[in-house]
Structure 1
Amino acid sequence: MRFSRIIIFLLIAGTVAGIGYWRHIHPDVISVTVTYVEKGDVEATVANTRAGTIKACRRAKMSPSLGGQISELPFPEGAAVKRNDILLQLWNEDLRAEVVHAESALRAAEDNSQAICLQAANARRTADRSYKLYQSEHVSRQEYDRVKSEADARHAECKAARANMEVAKAALQIAQSRLQRTILYAPFDGVIANINGELNEYVTPSPPGIQTPPVIDLIEPDCFYLSAPIDEVDAPRVKPGMAARITLDAWRGRIFPGEVTRIGSYVIDREKQARTVEVELKFTNPEDIKSLLVGYSADVDIIIKTHSNVLRIPSEAMLDEEHVLVFNPDNQTLEERSITKGIANWNYTEVISGLAEGEALVTSLGDEGVEAGAVAEITDRNSDD
């Protein structure tokens, strides 16, 4: 019985050893995809941290500065308007009446001022004649003083009348200003994007500290720019005038050339978000503007610098910051290789040393069994044109 157990144990051990030896001399072959080291251009870029937004160069979100009932909405949403066109008017008959009253009061004050000042001028001439008569002793000093005092009084009345005329002008300006507050004018040529109100509805201005939706949203239709946040760490490398590539979700596969026009002057600190700096970019191709709408989401790659005709590999082929897996065609194995890299972006990494043009790099790094020393066969080649 004991001898039989020994025989069974030896058979099992021999089988395991045989399987191990077989695997040693016939290791499992894994399938890998590769790419090849090539020469080309590599760009160092800065990308936005969150989606950017297409904005109009000029946009006015307007509401009346006082409450009232909407009496006129001359244009519908989507209408093109010219500068100084009336976009909205509140009921203002009472204020118009106040303007008419103030205009009448001003005319009356002007007429009264003219009459009083004419009388003052005549009294001044009489005083001058009386003075000459006094000097020639044809009138008494008492008579001359009376005439002079009357002329001085008339002059003071003229000054008071002119002051009253200025008061009437100011009252008219106040009435006109109050009337103007009931009317919204287009500050520039544009398109009405949104109207938040209907005829005869009552609108009220926003209370202090509380923002309410604007009644009229006016945008400039022929000028757009991109506003996008970048990480505060990248901000010092970005300068106005740098070229950029802009992509939009609404236009997948299309690249819009752009240029940095402005870099934010402060860091935006939002709760539970990375600190960022806002950058603005213009579209350098005027034809691209025709395809845009305000509010589109967009991404951007700002080109910091470019190295041309250098060795490069897809960035996805990097194991870490310094290593790659190279496929050795002589023994069909994978070898870990240290490299020195230069500038890099999401697509390509520049290789300064450690690789030669044409060498095969493994890109299927996440597959099971893909590691240094593994025996492999190439099943596909990544296309990196």
Structure 2
Amino acid sequence: MNKKLLLLCTLILIAASLGYYFNKGPERISVTQYKVTKGEVKASIANTRVGTVKACRRAYLAPSIGGNVAELYVKEGDKVKSQQLLLKVWNDDLTAQLKLRKAQIKADKASAKQACEIAQGSERDAHRLVRLKKYDRIISEEQLDRAATKARAARASCFAAQAAIEMARANFVMVNTAIERTLIRAPFDGTVAEINAELGEYVTPSPPGIPTLPPIDLLDLSCLYVSAPIDEVDAPQVKVGMSACVTLDAFAEKRCSGTVSRIAPYVLEKEKQARTVEVEVKLSDAKDLQELLPGYSADIEVLLSSKANALRVPTEAVLENNQVLVISADGLLEQRQFKPGLANWNFIEVVSGLVEGDALVLSIGREGVEAGAYVSVEE
């Protein structure tokens, strides 16, 4: 009797265990979901490699002739005005020559005044003899000829002396130009970014084909742009004037006041790199230009077109061939394909295949998440 009772209890326990196992259903995978809604979708193109913030104007300044630095009028970080003197190379010899040319001009002016006064006197004498000849036959033709010749010679001496003044002035300009070649002046309003020269140090222009550090690096920080490479396949879609956003590693916020200002007229070919076209984006909003510095790494996103109220799904929820995992009412995952429209890194427009309110798996990278699996949605 006891054995029969024990066997009966055992069978009851086994039946209860099997019933619990089959009634609780399959094990469910925890996932995050996204319900299909409407919103803005933008079609855009991004750069393939990191871009760079650059100044619209940048000048690597060096004197036209070599020499020792005699004066350095600025330091790094100084703001300068156009034509402001920045650096002077030793030029005392040329300065002395300039003083000599000035003195020569004064001397030539004095000589010219003397020669021209003599010419005027000789011309007056010749005119008097001509008048006397009419009333006094004692005046011979020979005397008149000598007086006229003397007057012409004196006038020629006057012209020669005036020409000497012009020559002296030309020499003065030539020496002054040589002095200017020893000076570095700012070609535009800007900020001194870097100085690679010290007092007494010998500086020289870069010889052809041999790059050397310039004595002064000048930047115009009032105008900045981003230069970035676009894949050659996408480049034909980009046009000058298109809107663009700029993202910088140094700042969290996206800056969207940019416009495409230039597209390179050639494809850049570099070894072991995809062929690209350089695109420049200029920011117009003063707020977007704040805190920007040339040299920052930056990415660009050029807007091709947009829709303000399109049915959309997150790009991260989309599998190959525009397929998504739809969560059914009982938690079963179904693979479904949709027809896409506009697309970017964040959202893809749904043209057909999905309806508003469909629940999609957002965490598609989790283990076991595939069509036919049962899931539970995380709060």
TM over 0.5: yes
**How far did residue 286 of structure 1 move?**
1.4
In structure 2, what is the equivalent of residue 61 of structure 1?
60
CA deviations 1:283-336 (Å, max 9, x no partner) are 333133331222111112122221011100011222224333323334x43333
Give the aligned residue type for 2:71. Answer: E
Q: CA deviation at 1:230?
A: 2.3
- Asked if 1 retains the 8 angstrom alpha-carbon contact of 2:55 and 2:223, the reply is yes
Question: Counterpart of 1:361 in 2: which secondary structure?
Answer: strand
SS of 2:253's equivalent in the other structure is: strand
C-alpha displacement of 1:368:
4.5
**Secondary structure at the residue paired with 2:230?**
strand
Structure 2 counterparts to residues 117-128 of structure 1, below 5 A: 117-128=116-127
CA contact (8 A) 1:31 1:376 kept: no
Q: Give the AA of the match of 1:55.
A: K
| Structure 1 residue aligned with 2:305 | 305
Q: Deviations over 1:212-257 (max 9, x none)?
A: 1111112234432322232333334333443322221111x21223
Asked whether 1:239 is paired with 2:233, we answer no
Contact (CA 8 Å) 1:80, 1:191: kept in 2 or not? yes
1:376 counterpart (342, 366, 374)? 374
Work out whether 1:80 is the aligned partner of 2:82.
Answer: no
Which segment is superposed worse, 177-186 or 271-280? Answer: 271-280
CA-to-partner distance for each residue in 1:242-276, whole Å, 9 max, x for gaps? 3322221111x212232215113412423123333
Please state how far the C-alpha of 1:133 moved relative to its aligned partner: 4.1
Alpha-carbon shift at residue 175 of structure 1 (Å): 0.8
What is the root-mean-square deviation of aligned Cα atoms in Å?
2.6
* Distance in 2 between residues matched to 1:278 and 1:259, nearest whole Å: 16
In 1, distance between residues paired with 2:287 and 2:332? 52
In 2, Cα distance between equivalents of 1:350 and 1:131: 107
Which residues of 2 match residues 165-314 of structure 1 at below 5 A? 165-251=165-251, 253-272=252-271, 273-314=273-314
Match of 1:13 in 2: none
Per-residue displacement from partner, 1:334-375 (whole Å, max 9, x unpaired)?
333222111100110001111001112234444454444x22
Q: What is the one-letter code of the residue matched to 1:207?
A: P
One-letter identity of the residue aligned with 1:242: M
Aligned equivalents of 2:334, 2:260: Cα separation in 1 = 47
- Separation in 1 of the partners of 2:42 and 2:288? 24
Asked if the contact 2:115–2:154 (Cα under 8 Å) also holds between the matched residues in 1, the reply is: yes
State how far apart, in whole Å, the 1-side matches of 2:262 and 2:59 are.
Answer: 23
C-alpha contact 1:334 1:376 (8 A) present in aligned 2? yes
**Relative to 1, partners in 2 of residues 1:334 and 1:160: Cα closer, same or farther, differing over 3 Å?**
same
Counterpart for residue 51 of structure 1: 50
Question: Is the 1:238–1:304 Cα contact (8 Å) retained in structure 2?
Answer: yes
After TM superposition, give the deviation of residue 31 of structure 1 in Å. Answer: 4.8
- Residue in 1 aligned with 2:160? 160
Count of matched residue positions in the alignment of Structure 1 and Structure 2: 355
- TM-score when normalising by structure 1: 0.83
Q: Partner letter of residue 234 of structure 1?
A: D
Rounded Cα–Cα distance in structure 2 between residues aligned with 1:263 and 1:58:
15
Structure 1 pair 274–133 and aligned structure 2 pair: CA distance change class (3 A): farther
**Aligned AA for 2:96?**
A
After superposition, the C-alpha distances for 1:111-159 in whole angstroms (9 at most, x for unaligned) are 2222222222332333333344445674332222222222222222222
- The corresponding residue for 1:8 is none
Which stretch shifts more, 31-40 or 41-50?
31-40
Instruction: Name the CA distance, whole Å, in 2 between partners of 1:238 and 1:126.
Output: 85
TM-score by length of 2: 0.84
In structure 1, the residue corresponding to 2:360 is in which secondary structure?
Answer: strand
Residue of structure 2 in register with 1:37 after alignment: 36
Between the aligned partners of 1:158 and 1:233, the Cα distance in structure 2 is: 76
2:247 partner letter: T
Judging changes above 3 Å, is the alpha-carbon distance between structure 1 residues 363 and 135 closer, same or farther for their aligned structure 2 residues? farther
Gaps of 5+ in 1: 1-21
Deviates more, 1:166-175 or 1:57-66: 57-66
Per the alignment, in what secondary structure is the counterpart of residue 163 of structure 2?
helix
Equivalents in 2 of 1:248, 1:360: separation in Å? 34
Partner SS state of residue 172, structure 1: helix
Correspondence 1:104 to 2:103: yes
